[in-house]
Amino acid sequence: MQGWDKVEALTADAYAFGLGETRGLVADYIPILAETDPELFGVCVAEVDGSIHSAGDAAVEFSIQSISKAFVYALVCEELGHDLVKEHVGVNNTGLAFNSVMAIELNYGHPMNPMVNAGALATTALVPGGSPAEQWELIRQGLSRFAGHPLELDGEVYRSEMATNQRNMAIARLLESYRRIEIDPLKVVDVYTKQCALRVSARDIAVMGATLADGGVNPITGEQVVSAAVCRDTLSVLAANGMYERSGEWLFEIGLPGKSGVAGGIVTISPGKAGIGVFSPRLDSAGNSVRGQAATSFLSRSLGLNIFASDVSPTRLEP
Ligand code: DON
């Protein structure tokens, strides 16, 4: 594949390119995140054949935050099927911030989008299990299978968010009032907050992305984590919604499905080829890592990954 012989060097170049970007602010609405070193920066490309290319702080752990939404969505689709989840949670962009309450009201209580907090809470509520503890275990094990090793809860991040997430509690209560959450909404918030506090590295999210890139097969363990059909559905939802209200800009510049998290991670998927994981805590106003976007954009362009670009054949059939 053109450019792939240089992927190791291009990963280092993407890191160097991203380092030049110093704009953005570290998230502080979850108090513990404000203590993160703003200079941390890691880039990792995990190919579907299991090759790994890393630069910078690619092994440093951070909380997965909203990136978890993509993988919990995939697990729930695997369990419950495409149609039920589509009807219950939706697949459309709200065009509003990830924690918008107005989006729920504007849509008569339908969450619309599984990649914003309302839709993610509605999705987590659908996770099978007789109790919140069972749901949490299913999520932790499922995301660990995507990563290829056991993921651990960051207790400090979990407690810090639980002490300050009144807004998510309000969103969950509102969804309950519209019957979009049919179990105890505050317990759903608790499980959701735990899923967001799982510790991952840029390398981990690259491997998780590569699993979605390869029809659900983890490139390190060889395990089929979810079906190819679920990967296809998840990637289309990410393309439309993965970067919140900036999803259009992201698709325009980078041309790949991706998902960001407020701790500074971004996972990007190049279908059939690779997962890209980046981590840098300084965010733009939509909550997307600034250096992460720069490095991913560099890789998409230099490796020719934009899914909307097609090579024009020199010959064509005459009518
Ligand atoms: O629910 C929240 O607000 C966080 N646990 C996750 C939000 C998030 O990651 C938004 N991302 N850019």
pLDDT given at position 44:
98
For residue 168 and ligand 1, the question of a CB distance below 6 A is answered with yes
**pLDDT cut 70: percent of the chain above it:** 96
Domain ranges of the chain: 4-62+200-303, 66-196
Q: Is 244 one of the catalytic residues? A: yes
User: What is the reported pLDDT for 311?
Assistant: 60
187 catalytic? Reply is: no
The verdict on whether 73 is a catalytic residue reads no
Higher pLDDT, 178 or 314: 178
Nearest CA to ligand 1 atom 4: 65
Tell me the two tokens of residue 150: 């056991």
Fold assignment, 4-62+200-303: Beta-lactamase (3.40.710)
Mean pLDDT value of segment 283-289? 94
The pTM for the full model equals 0.95
- Tell me how crowded residue 165 is: count the other CB atoms within 10 A of its CB: 21
Higher pLDDT, 111 or 277: 277
Q: Find the 67 Cα to ligand 1 centroid distance in Å.
A: 8
Please say if 158 is a catalytic residue: no
* CA–centroid distance for 90 within its chain: 17
What pLDDT band is residue 154 in, cutting at 50, 70 and 90? Answer: very high
- What is the residue-averaged pLDDT of the chain? 94
Q: Which atom of ligand 1 is nearest to the CA of 120?
A: 1
For the segment 41-64, what is each residue's pLDDT rounded down to a tens digit? Answer: 999 999 999 999 999 999 999 999
Q: Write out pLDDT tens, residues 256-280.
A: 999 999 999 999 999 999 999 999 9
Architecture of domain 66-196: 3-Layer(aba) Sandwich (3.40)
pLDDT at 316: 52
Higher pLDDT, 35 or 91: 35
Q: What is the mean pLDDT of residues 228-254?
A: 95
Rounded to an integer, the average pLDDT of 153-177 is 97
Say how far apart CA 95 and CA 160 lie, in whole Å: 28
Establish whether domains 4-62+200-303 and 66-196 are of one fold: yes
Percentage of the chain beyond pLDDT 90 is: 85
Nearest residue by C-alpha to atom 1 in ligand 1: 117
